[in-house]
Amino acid sequence: MAGESVSGQSGWALTGLAPGALIAGYRVEARIGAGGMAMVLRARDEALGRTVALKILAPARAGDAEFRERFVRESRAVAAVDHPHIIPVYAAGEAGGVLYLAMRFVTGGDLRSLVQREGPLPGSRAVALLSPVAAALDAAHAAGLVHRDVKPANILVDRAPGRPEHPYLSDFGLAKGSASSAGLTGTGQFLGTPDYAAPEQISGSPARPQTDQYALACVAYSVLTGLLPFPRDESMAVLWAHMYEQPPSLTAARTGLPAAADAVLARALAKSPEDRYATCGAFIDALRAAFSGPARASSGGTRTSPGSSPVQVAGWQRRTQDREAQAPPRHTQTAPRPSTLDSPAPVLTGPPWDPATDASSVPPAASVPPATSVPPAAPLTWAAPVLRFWRQRGRRGRSRWPIVTAALALLVVLVAGGGYGFWRYNQSQYYVGTENGYVAIFRGTSHSLAGISMSSLVQRTTLPVSQLTTGDQALVAQTISQGSVTSAQQVIDQLENHAEYCKQQWQVLAAWQAKNVKYQAELANAAKTNVMVAPQDIPGAEPALPGSDCAPSAAFGIRASALPTAQSSPAG
């Protein structure tokens, strides 16, 4: 929202919207802010008993019939975009000649005040805050809406103890048809704010989704550097820079940022919309990749496939055993074949043998089949039924083995195919968990098939679990499925941002304590030597102790003994 003007203040004075006034069922409690176009009030819904942000349109705009019609039409369109990061609109209409818009009341302020309060944001935190805004813009673009006024003041950041920051995109369509906040009038009118306006927006060309992407890239530059993309003394000079000057460099404005981020920002700030990214989400994804560097991945498990499934190997072994069982028995010694088994009888040749007359001779050779002797017949009569049994079993086995093999093959195909399909389905699931004491993202699920895990490690972050609060640790321990790696990464980013915020709070407190200890020693010395303590050594007011939504100080390498003893640490 632009700053207040004298004329704006006097115009608002005529509305009589003092605390206690009732507008369309909303009881005014206090004024949050006001500008040339609208006033924002904190009000209470009398019917539902909830606090809302009530935006009242300027009296000059309320008298414009065309603007009134457009305001109501676009307010309904924005309310129809169902996205968790677009500020919810509860009601819009007219009451007593005043156009109003009732929205969710956000307590954390906007992105502009956040940067003013904390300075330039770390890359991971900036991406975590802007990624949901990009998704909200893409959802609005899919519904046929172009915001046209994306800027830090229109990105609200809801902050509450015990939960991550939640950004909201607000003020859809309220800047359309209005002069810029820099005071452009007449032919210089355009839709948007000069510091974040795209070249096509300035030249009067139709706005498109890439117009919002250009503004989002300007916002990214501002939150990462704490500077405007084109800081100039005159608004016309700002517009000229957007039209003709090269995009600013992140690395030149702030050391320590990756050079890859410059290329990403330069593309999103291209003068021609066709040269930018296809969507706002694609721009933020590229920016995240520039800050995170090459993705780390490990297998973390073995994939199953139809060609290497343990079930299939077991089936192969079983088929081999069946074939061996069905084959005729193999004997290590050739069995004699007596006449009782229908074998040909031996044929004797030569004269009859008489042992009495020719004791030194041997019986005449018998003409028998090769490798077959002629033992006595009586001892082998038991072999007939045994051999007959094995012959019949072999014939029955040979008739059954094609059916058994086909059934086993079908079973292997079904099991292997089902396992492969189950694995493919699980690979589309992502969840947040822990690995060796660090928060990590996993792909798949913890289910297994034949002892093979379906999940694999995608990324182990640098965030130790010890730096999370008890509630954050419980959220991670639940390994809630996120459905996509992007949403899982958003949970990681939010946890990292909150841990970084807590670390800064503990460090500030420890630094104050160290300075206070030195100051107390100097006071004691001054009492003895009458030497005054230097003003720069005075520690100042004691900073507030981090709340219960922060992890223990020891998790960040800060000893509890180094913290103020006047207050008790919530966790360490």
Label residue 222 exposed, middle or buried (CB < 10 Å: 0-12, 13-18, 19+).
buried
Question: Taken in order 561, 562, 568, 572, is the CA torsion positive or negative?
Answer: negative
Question: Taken in order 308, 314, 318, 324, is the CA torsion positive or negative?
Answer: positive
Q: d(Cα 279, Cα 264) in Å, to the nearest integer? A: 13
Spell out the long-range contacts of 251-259 with Cβ–Cβ below 8 A and sequence spacing 24 or more: 253/221, 253/225, 253/227, 254/120, 254/224, 254/225, 254/226, 257/123, 257/224, 258/123, 258/290, 258/291, 258/293
Say how many CA atoms lie within 13 Å of 32 toward its Cβ: 20
Q: What angle, 0 to 180 degrees and rounded to 10, lies between the N-to-C axes of helices 485-529 and 123-142?
A: 140
Q: d(Cα 45, Cα 100) in Å, to the nearest integer? A: 13
Which tokens in the block code for residue 538?
């005075």
Pick the catalytic residue: 45, 110, 138, 149? 149
> Under 8 Å CB-to-CB from 297, ≥6 apart: which residues?
456, 457, 458, 459
Which tokens in the block code for residue 213?
């992407």
Q: What is the bridge-based pairing of β-strands 456-464 and 155-160?
A: unpaired
Q: d(Cα 352, Cα 360) in Å, to the nearest integer? A: 15
Beta strands across the sheet bearing 22-23:
22-23, 26-34, 38-45, 51-57, 98-104, 89-95
Label residue 389 exposed, middle or buried (CB < 10 Å: 0-12, 13-18, 19+).
exposed
Q: What is the CA radius of gyration of the chain?
A: 42
Q: Active-site residue 354, yes or no?
A: no
| Active site residue ranges | 149
